[in-house]
Amino acid sequence: MNKHNKQFLEGSRAIAQTIKNIEPDVISAYPITPQTHIVEDLAKFKADGKAKYEYVRAESEFAAASIVLGASATGARTYSATSSQGLLLMTEVIYNIAGMRLPIVMTCANRSVSAPINIWNDHSDAMSVRDSGFIQFFSEDNQEAIYQHILAYKIAEKLKLPVLVNVDGFILTHSYEAVLIPTAKEIKKFLPKYKAEVGTYLNPKNSVTLGAFFSPQNYFETRENLHNDLTNSLKIITKEYGLLKKTFNIKSGDNGLIEYSGPQNPKNVLVAMGSVIGTIKETIKNDKATGVLKIKTYRPFPGEEINKILKNVKNIGVIEKAIGLGQAGPLYGDITTAITNKNIKNYIVGLGGRDVRIKMITEIIKDLPNKNNKIKFIGKI
């Protein structure tokens, strides 16, 4: 792509333009802060005659998820978006979408969950469906979100697995950045028009059953197959991300799963995902002892790739915007399961949208050598 395609856009607008250029057949969503601008723009594109997709207004998030499920089951390319309580309301359908192996792509504008009511960013909503069978990507910035949505459709349609692209609410959705948005023509070079395979969708001429009743004799194997296909998708994500980088001339050294930045032999490594990565990078830019490991693909979890980076690191800090109440942070639990190095500490930040500041990251780095591994909440007022 040429530099003259660069635009200064709100994150939500950039995502909406990307989805329009991907050319889905059916879009359905229900507005909820901070996701609303995405679907407002998509509705306006349709109303202004700039898009050919069917835009279906829904009376709730549960209905929106059900509409795209039904549309996808007929072989259509579909899209939806949500946040927080909206994602929770979709949960029953989310599990059905994954179990039916429907290649639906959704955006989650990450927001904390109630109660108490809070509209600001953390990752509690995505964590509530982390084991649903959806592939999950997390975006550091809006340009990454654009590319992850394009990649999401390629992966979903190739593997018959749904994908959730997580974009931090307000921090990314309502902030303005200079971004490159591929045109529809450019996107088609990487993501061709979707044509569902015969036998994978509802068709009167070739009858199939989706979401059938399975007894214990059969259900077990379906979950095993879904688990194995998710795990195996790590290789496909890496391969397709390589093609994405080549197609759109993306200059980065990552593999679509994780990205390490910092010294070659770090004493400390901070692990995180989402927009907080930017704050961490700013904090450690002159720190020759500390690196940062960004998790881009959270489900399936790239444990082997992560272990390669962390296995010999002296101090590891997992920084996350979610808490598994009564236990520890979800990402921390995944990391400790995946790696051989157990010298790892858990720091919870930014719950309910509280600012994550350089001072807090510095405090975490200073605390890393501390022998007390008790979970710590950083940034209390």
Give the CATH number of the domain where residue 161 resides: 3.40.50.970
Query: Mean pLDDT over residues 125-154, rounded?
Result: 98
* 71 within domain boundaries: yes
User: Structure tokens of 136?
Assistant: 């999950």
How many Å apart are CA 117 and CA 101, to the nearest integer? 33
Helix (H, G, I), strand (E, B) or coil at 15: helix
Do 172 and 79 share a structural domain? yes
Domain stops at, among 218, 248, 278: 248
Q: Per DSSP, what are the bridge partners of residue 3? A: none
| CA proximity to 16, closest of 34, 37, 38 | 38
List for the chain the helix, strand, coil content (%; round to 5).
Answer: 40, 20, 40
| Cα-based angle 337, 310, 328 (whole degrees, multiple of 5) | 40
Q: In the predicted model, what is the mean pLDDT of the chain?
A: 96
Task: Say what the pLDDT of residue 27 is.
Answer: 98
Domain stops at, among 248, 280, 302: 248
* 232 within domain boundaries: yes
* 253 within domain boundaries: no
Do 285 and 233 share a structural domain? no
Say how many domains are in the chain.
2
Do 38 and 156 share a structural domain? yes
pLDDT reading at 4 higher than 70: no
DSSP run (H or E) holding 238: helix 216-248
Contacts of 56 (CB under 8 A, 6+ apart): 26, 27, 28, 64, 67
At residue 130, φ and ψ (nearest 5 deg) are: -65, -25
Q: How many CB atoms lie within 10 A of CB 380?
A: 6
Task: Say what the pLDDT of residue 291 is.
Answer: 98
Burial of 8 (0-12, 13-18, 19+ CB in 10 A): exposed
pLDDT digits (tens, 9 = 90+) for 68-87: 999 999 999 999 999 999 99
Domain stops at, among 219, 248, 277: 248
Contacts of 364 (CB under 8 A, 6+ apart): 270, 317, 319, 347, 378
Which of the residue ranges 89-103, 197-211, 221-235 would you say has the lowest mean pLDDT? 197-211
**What is the rounded (10 degree) CA torsion for 252, 283, 330, 242?**
0
Do 117 and 190 share a structural domain? yes
Do 118 and 65 share a structural domain? yes
* 105 within domain boundaries: yes
Do 331 and 228 share a structural domain? no
Do 278 and 239 share a structural domain? no
> DSSP character for 48?
T
Do 304 and 277 share a structural domain? yes
Give the CATH number of the domain where residue 343 resides: 3.40.50.920
Sign of CA dihedral 199, 200, 201, 202: positive
Do 216 and 292 share a structural domain? no
pLDDT reading at 182 higher than 80: yes
Query: Mean pLDDT over residues 192-220, rounded?
Result: 91
Domain around 274: 258-377
pLDDT-derived band at 5 (thresholds 50, 70, 90) equals confident
pLDDT-derived band at 236 (thresholds 50, 70, 90) equals very high
DSSP run (H or E) holding 240: helix 216-248
Instruction: Judge whether 271 and 341 are in contact, CB under 8 Å.
Output: no
pLDDT digits (tens, 9 = 90+) for 310-367: 999 999 999 999 999 999 999 999 999 999 988 999 999 999 999 999 999 999 999 9
At residue 6, φ and ψ (nearest 5 deg) are: -70, 135
